[in-house]
A and B are shown apart, each in its own frame.
Chain A
Amino acid sequence: MPAVSKGDGMRGLAVFISDIRNCKSKEAEIKRINKELANIRSKFKGDKALDGYSKKKYVCKLLFIFLLGHDIDFGHMEAVNLLSSNKYTEKQIGYLFISVLVNSNSELIRLINNAIKNDLSSRNPTFMCLALHCIANVGSREMAEAFASEIPRILVAGDTMDSVKQSAALCLLRLYKTSPDLVLMGEWTSRVVHLLNDQHMGVVTAAISLITCLSQKNPDEFKTCVSLAVSRLSRIVSSASTDLQDYTYYFVPAPWLSCKLLRLLQCYPPPEDGAVKGRLVECLETILNKAQEPPKSKKVQHSNAKNAILFEAISLIIHYDSEPNLLVRACNQLGQFLQHRETNLRYLALESMCTLASSEFSHEAVKTHIETVINALKTERDVSVRQRAADLLYAMCDRSNAKQIVAEMLSYLETADYSIREEMVLKVAILAEKYAVDYSWYVDTILNLIRIAGDYVSEEVWYRVIQIVINRDDVQGYAAKTVFEALQAPACHENMVKVGGYILGEFGNLIAGDPRSSPLVQFNLLHSKFHLCSVPTRALLLSAYIKFINLFPETKATIQEVLRCDSQIRNSDVELQQRAVEYLKLSSIASTDVLATVLEEMPPFPERESSILAKLKKKKGPGAVSVTELEDSKREGGELNGGGDRGQDTATMAASNASTPSPSADLLGIRSTAPLGAAPASAGSLLVDVFSEAGPTAPSAAVNDDGFLSSAPPSEDPAPPLSEADDLLNKFVCKNNGVLFENQLLQIGIKSEYRQNLGRMYLFYGNKTSVQFASFTTTVSCPGELQSQLNVQTKPVEPLVEGGAQIQQVLNIECLTDFSDAPLLNIKFRYGGALQNLTLKLPVTINKFFQPTEMTSHDFFQRWKQLSQPQQEAQKIFKANNSMDTEVLKAKLLGLGTALLDNVDPNPENYVCAGVIQTKSQQVGCLLRLEPNAQAQVQHTDSPERVSHNYSSIPNFLHYLSPYSVNI
């Protein structure tokens, strides 16, 4: 029994709970509950007014019944009555009931809000806290509407008690999370930041959660928190374990606050102020040092609290990714944890190392732990830890260790838990493709994958191996031979039969010279599997057979006989029957020429994003490996698929690429050089199609390159921007990634991301030749008035770019105010002694700083009408280039950065969008309406803005919109 029952107990409640616990069956329990519900209902309905105590007791019983999992449909009114009781415990139970049971759309909300209002203005701190807890627990929009402006006042008022401040801070956080639009920044914001300096540690602990969340959304307004957080952290880190009294937890000073401070700092780049940065680095070093000190207590709580801070510090170090010394120390520390006896620490170390592996400073250091990680994969008893080990192996994989890692993952697959097999298979397939130096290894790996875990090999994986074999003629013979051997196994997986059927049907001729794999032997081998296979596989095999007839006329009679037999030609499956009938007919009436044309070898597949990568992204499995990271590391590897090269240039080039990594790295799978030889890819996903716009436009640039190369004046001055640069630039209005430029020497890929008024752009310079580029320099400049409008910072790149290599440059961009010109990128390098000089416009346009905004139809048109002055409005009528496809248009408008608002415009044909352009100096609301006119193929665009300034650039980008919002 409970040793103590403090406070004011309710005997009736205790009896009821005991009764329920004594019930022998579910039925008995339900019976008892129904009896109680009937009793309570009659009490509530009865003539006799209930006293507060009884009301409290019954409400509490209802709550208990609800928490048991039963529905409660009455009692809400009584609970609301309790809110206005003067007795604390009654009020408290009332609030608890409301917090647990009232959903936001209840009609009682008005009454509840009234009671809360009274308590907030009562100046009784205990009541105020109860009311604030209730708001924080319910957090509904109605409550936000009622209190979002009141709570900041309570939070920063000078006479508010500490405990109330704590509740107010977290209450505001909850409201901000549910209804950010209702919590308006104001003069209170700067005072909130200063709560970091509060004397009361509890106030700081509560306030910092709020500040962190607000900083993420409004980094500039809260910038001052960085130096305050650093000095607070520094004081805690350097304090003795007893200094902070009750805020010291098992000899660790203020672990929660420390973690939150370190977390807050992760919302910002490293401090610019040297002194602040120095102090912070000192803190981080101290935290790392403390990890080496002997523990002050044997209790697990001590080490957990200490390590929680350590892991958070390491996260910050990784986030900065700029202090090689700290990164390597972090890596060493995690390395120690990899062999720690605490499973929790091993798990976290593996997880944290995954992110370290992607930093250029620590990648090598992480790699030194490969044996430990492989061992973890083999010996950990907990599947979630093994999963982390597999993730880390994936993250640390590069060209140097790919063979070892892939081999280990393959052997682990034989015994791997079912829950993670599919993901493992995808990862092995991706690594094998990414780091394949010779394709026979790649083919071996995938066939092994099918052999070991055939059930988990998804279609994407076996499609991919076929795509690659088709596109690379240097591996076709090997693939045919290997797949032929694999099919010899008495029991082989159906996926193997599919791959085998496809590859032998295409390239069986390459091994037919060997009598052991003569055409007939190949056919018999395939056909021996036929009867065990499912319908789709059989259909594939039938196609392979007809290809055999073309490749090897000597098999014609045998195969025709097979096609002719009843089990084929009269098969109950329509697809099989049709194929059998048609193939039979085709083989009997067509001349060899016709047959050869119809059954020609498959053309190379157009190169797109690897379908496997897309699949892994979709799964986005528990992965410490984020998708971006994956793509980032993708650039290290050349790509296997020669599709792009082959169509355009010569087969010899593709062949020579076979042994050296392809020079043009595949950014997000978008290639500017569309495979001209291949049929244009048809219906892909919308997203891909929007992006792959680069395909059709780029060749024109590529054609001009020749001229550029010969005519570029070898001068030291920046070359004037290419004339077609504007076209190139416009390509990027609605997208952030792709190939910016490409000629015979150089490919420049671009990847960018924007948040608020800040942006980060990654430029990838790929040397397409086999000769090194010397004196490679790049300069970014903001000509004319752009200098005061846009702030672009970058570091110089390495002056040497090896043949076939790719280097990366990061630009940090800050939008200070509206702008209309683009920054210029000048690139100079020496190629074989000749100076190359080229200038490009960087695709930074004002719409990149759009923040989408949702609003209702009513709001939208109200604001629209307010913006009636001529300088607030711009209208354009332009002709659509092609069809006005809804999905394409939508994708374009979203790509622009605005929110596309549904059900706003009464005319469903129209598109309306809203967004806020974030600049450092101000935020500009922008509304847009696009009215397609299908008959005339023209569209109107209106774009009023909310400010009185003349934002000249908005009409400008509407202009961009016209050619590139495609087909408008």
Chain B
Amino acid sequence: MQFMLLFSRQGKLRLQKWYVPLCDKEKKKITRELVQTVLARKPKMCSFLEWRDLKIVYKRYASLYFCCAIEDQDNELITLEIIHRYVELLDKYFGSVCELDIIFNFEKAYFILDEFLLGGEAQETSKKNVLKAIEQADLLQENIDFQMRLFAGVMVPNMVSESSGLFQN
């Protein structure tokens, strides 16, 4: 896999992971182009498309699009399930994950991804093992700040789509 992008229906980039060296300018250009291409596609269309000399595999979960670029000899269907397994991991970790979780805890989303995929290849496909690694890390940290739970004061309302569970659609 060459890269993975998560973006919202409004075209906001939520997570980007690059497995090939590219300069920032090129990354921005690719992102802009792909977000536009994928958002323009209709719901029942096929999840794969050819783009430059890569294959794009994407899937929408609630308000978020997950989009991977793979090489010619890579398998599209198994990439689709890579996306699904990642969503499952996020869902299990956050407990019914929604877009907001990924916005506010972007670093966690990156950590989970690193446990699951490394250098663009599946490192560990067992859900249990990935979560075990992440939870061990969580246990390692010293003073859990329970105040963190008190988000209410800083939350904005009317974020219906971003707070709907990814698995609801």
Listed stretches A302-310, A662-670, A825-833; interface member: A302-310
Listed stretches A167-175, A220-228, A911-919; interface member: A167-175
Is the beta-carbon distance between A385 and B137 smaller than 8 angstroms?
no
Instruction: Tell me the bound Cα distance from A246 to B152 in angstroms.
Output: 37
Q: A249-B125, A384-B50 are in contact. Are A87 and B108 (CB under 8 A)?
A: no
Q: Which of B83-111 contact A (CB under 8 A)?
A: 84-85, 93-96, 98, 100-101, 103-108, 110-111
Which residue of chain B has its CB nearest to the CB of A621? Answer: B50
Instruction: Say yes or no: is A106 at the interface (Cβ < 8 Å to chain B).
Output: no
Is the beta-carbon distance between A382 and B137 smaller than 8 angstroms?
no
Q: Which of B101-126 contact A (CB under 8 A)?
A: 101, 103-108, 110-111, 114, 118-126
Q: A2-B104, A246-B127, A343-B46 are in contact. Are A87 and B85 (CB under 8 A)?
A: no
Is the beta-carbon distance between A67 and B126 smaller than 8 angstroms?
no
Is the beta-carbon distance between A88 and B141 smaller than 8 angstroms?
yes
Which residue of chain B has its CB nearest to the CB of A250? Answer: B81
Q: How far is the CB of B27 from chain A (nearest CB, A)?
A: 10
Instruction: Tell me the bound Cα distance from A4 to B95 in angstroms.
Output: 7
Instruction: Tell me the bound Cα distance from A308 to B124 in angstroms.
Output: 18
Across-interface contacts of A67 in B (CB, < 8 A): 13, 15-16, 106
Is the beta-carbon distance between A311 and B77 smaller than 8 angstroms?
yes
Instruction: Say yes or no: is B160 at the interface (Cβ < 8 Å to chain A).
Output: no
Q: A14-B154, A88-B137 are in contact. Are A93 and B148 (CB under 8 A)?
A: no
Instruction: Tell me the bound Cα distance from A163 to B156 in angstroms.
Output: 40
Instruction: Tell me the bound Cα distance from A607 to B107 in angstroms.
Output: 62
Pick the contact of A14 from B16, B82, B148 — CB < 8 Å?
B148
Instruction: Say yes or no: is B128 at the interface (Cβ < 8 Å to chain A).
Output: yes
Across-interface contacts of B36 in A (CB, < 8 A): none
Instruction: Say yes or no: is B26 at the interface (Cβ < 8 Å to chain A).
Output: no
Is the beta-carbon distance between B114 and A137 smaller than 8 angstroms?
yes
Which residue of chain B has its CB nearest to the CB of A209? Answer: B121
Listed stretches A5-13, A362-370, A741-749; interface member: A5-13
Which residue of chain B has its CB nearest to the CB of A210? Answer: B121
Instruction: Tell me the bound Cα distance from A7 to B138 in angstroms.
Output: 5
Instruction: Say yes or no: is A139 at the interface (Cβ < 8 Å to chain B).
Output: yes
Instruction: Tell me the bound Cα distance from A665 to B122 in angstroms.
Output: 46
Instruction: Tell me the bound Cα distance from A224 to B166 in angstroms.
Output: 44
Across-interface contacts of B85 in A (CB, < 8 A): 249
Instruction: Tell me the bound Cα distance from A308 to B57 in angstroms.
Output: 13
Is the beta-carbon distance between A166 and B46 smaller than 8 angstroms?
no
Taking each of A14, A178, A201, A257, which has the highest tally of chain B beta carbons within 10 Å of its own beta carbon? A14
Is the beta-carbon distance between B147 and A87 smaller than 8 angstroms?
no
For chain B, the count of residues having a C-beta within 8 Å of the partner chain is 72
Is the beta-carbon distance between B44 and A7 smaller than 8 angstroms?
no
Which residue of chain B has its CB nearest to the CB of A87? Answer: B142
Pick the contact of B107 from A63, A301, A308, A382 — CB < 8 Å?
A63
Across-interface contacts of B169 in A (CB, < 8 A): none
Across-interface contacts of A387 in B (CB, < 8 A): 50
Q: How far is the CB of A540 from chain B (nearest CB, A)?
A: 36
Instruction: Tell me the bound Cα distance from A793 to B148 in angstroms.
Output: 70
Instruction: Say yes or no: is A426 at the interface (Cβ < 8 Å to chain B).
Output: no
Q: Which of B63-95 contact A (CB under 8 A)?
A: 73, 75-78, 80-82, 84-85, 93-95
Across-interface contacts of B141 in A (CB, < 8 A): 7-8, 87-89
Instruction: Tell me the bound Cα distance from A210 to B47 in angstroms.
Output: 28
Q: Which of A138-154 contact B (CB under 8 A)?
A: 139-140
Instruction: Tell me the bound Cα distance from A810 to B160 in angstroms.
Output: 63
Across-interface contacts of A308 in B (CB, < 8 A): 75-78, 80-81
Instruction: Tell me the bound Cα distance from A171 to B118 in angstroms.
Output: 7
Q: A344-B47, A385-B46 are in contact. Are A15 and B154 (CB under 8 A)?
A: yes
* Proximity string of chain B (127-144) to chain A, C-beta cutoff 8 Å, 1 when within and 0 when not: 111000100111011111
Instruction: Tell me the bound Cα distance from A205 to B128 in angstroms.
Output: 15
Is the beta-carbon distance between B101 and A7 smaller than 8 angstroms?
no
Q: A205-B124, A384-B45 are in contact. Are A11 and B108 (CB under 8 A)?
A: no
Q: How far is the CB of A720 from chain B (nearest CB, A)?
A: 46
* Proximity string of chain B (31-47) to chain A, C-beta cutoff 8 Å, 1 when within and 0 when not: 00000000000101111
Which residue of chain A has its CB nearest to the CB of B132? Answer: A163
Q: Which of A248-262 contact B (CB under 8 A)?
A: 249, 254-257, 259-260
Which residue of chain B has its CB nearest to the CB of A266? Answer: B73
Across-interface contacts of B95 in A (CB, < 8 A): 3-4
Taking each of B124, B138, B155, which has the highest tally of chain A beta carbons within 10 Å of its own beta carbon? B124
Pick the contact of B48 from A206, A257, A348 — CB < 8 Å?
A348
Across-interface contacts of A343 in B (CB, < 8 A): 44-47
Is the beta-carbon distance between B46 and A344 smaller than 8 angstroms?
yes
Is the beta-carbon distance between B94 and A2 smaller than 8 angstroms?
yes
Is the beta-carbon distance between B107 and A167 smaller than 8 angstroms?
no
Is the beta-carbon distance between A1 and B126 smaller than 8 angstroms?
no
Is the beta-carbon distance between A304 and B81 smaller than 8 angstroms?
yes
Instruction: Say yes or no: is B29 at the interface (Cβ < 8 Å to chain A).
Output: no
Across-interface contacts of A968 in B (CB, < 8 A): none
Pick the contact of A263 from B13, B46, B73 — CB < 8 Å?
B73
Listed stretches A16-24, A441-449, A897-905; interface member: A16-24
Is the beta-carbon distance between A14 and B123 smaller than 8 angstroms?
no
Across-interface contacts of A92 in B (CB, < 8 A): 107, 111, 137
Instruction: Tell me the bound Cα distance from A88 to B46 in angstroms.
Output: 42
Q: A1-B152, A2-B104, A3-B95 are in contact. Are A174 and B119 (CB under 8 A)?
A: yes
Q: Which of A7-66 contact B (CB under 8 A)?
A: 7-11, 14-15, 17-18, 21-22, 60, 63-64
Pick the contact of B123 from A104, A205, A347, A622 — CB < 8 Å?
A205
Across-interface contacts of B100 in A (CB, < 8 A): 1-2
Across-interface contacts of A163 in B (CB, < 8 A): 124, 129, 133
Is the beta-carbon distance between A6 and B93 smaller than 8 angstroms?
yes
Instruction: Say yes or no: is A552 at the interface (Cβ < 8 Å to chain B).
Output: no
Across-interface contacts of B111 in A (CB, < 8 A): 92, 96
Instruction: Say yes or no: is A126 at the interface (Cβ < 8 Å to chain B).
Output: yes
Is the beta-carbon distance between A312 and B75 smaller than 8 angstroms?
yes
Is the beta-carbon distance between A166 and B142 smaller than 8 angstroms?
no
Q: A18-B154, A87-B142 are in contact. Are A170 and B119 (CB under 8 A)?
A: yes
Is the beta-carbon distance between A305 and B114 smaller than 8 angstroms?
no
Q: A166-B124, A246-B129, A301-B84 are in contact. Are A5 and B118 (CB under 8 A)?
A: no
Instruction: Say yes or no: is B161 at the interface (Cβ < 8 Å to chain A).
Output: no
Pick the contact of A7 from B46, B77, B108 — CB < 8 Å?
B108
Is the beta-carbon distance between A382 and B46 smaller than 8 angstroms?
yes
Q: How far is the CB of B7 from chain A (nearest CB, A)?
A: 12
Taking each of A9, A60, A381, which has the highest tally of chain B beta carbons within 10 Å of its own beta carbon? A9
Instruction: Say yes or no: is A69 at the interface (Cβ < 8 Å to chain B).
Output: yes
Instruction: Tell me the bound Cα distance from A385 to B42 in angstroms.
Output: 13
Q: A18-B155, A88-B141, A96-B111 are in contact. Are A2 and B101 (CB under 8 A)?
A: yes
Across-interface contacts of B122 in A (CB, < 8 A): 205-206, 209, 256, 260
Across-interface contacts of B121 in A (CB, < 8 A): 170, 173, 206, 209
Is the beta-carbon distance between B114 and A139 smaller than 8 angstroms?
no
Across-interface contacts of A209 in B (CB, < 8 A): 119, 121-122
Is the beta-carbon distance between B145 and A11 smaller than 8 angstroms?
yes
Taking each of B21, B101, B156, which has the highest tally of chain A beta carbons within 10 Å of its own beta carbon? B21
Across-interface contacts of A140 in B (CB, < 8 A): 21
Instruction: Say yes or no: is A247 at the interface (Cβ < 8 Å to chain B).
Output: yes
Which residue of chain B has its CB nearest to the CB of A382? Answer: B45
Instruction: Say yes or no: is A202 at the interface (Cβ < 8 Å to chain B).
Output: yes
Is the beta-carbon distance between A5 and B21 smaller than 8 angstroms?
no
Across-interface contacts of A14 in B (CB, < 8 A): 104, 148, 151, 154
Instruction: Tell me the bound Cα distance from A21 to B108 in angstroms.
Output: 19
Q: How far is the CB of A93 from chain B (nearest CB, A)?
A: 6
Instruction: Tell me the bound Cα distance from A698 to B164 in angstroms.
Output: 73
6 A-B pairs with CB atoms under 8 Å apart are A6-B138, A8-B143, A67-B15, A202-B129, A254-B125, A266-B73
Given contacts A100-B110, A136-B118, A174-B118, 13 further A-B contacts (CB under 8 A): A4-B95, A5-B151, A8-B142, A8-B148, A11-B145, A17-B104, A18-B156, A129-B133, A166-B123, A171-B119, A202-B129, A344-B48, A385-B46
The 7 closest A-B pairs by CB, nearest first: A9-B148, A308-B77, A622-B50, A174-B119, A308-B78, A209-B121, A170-B118
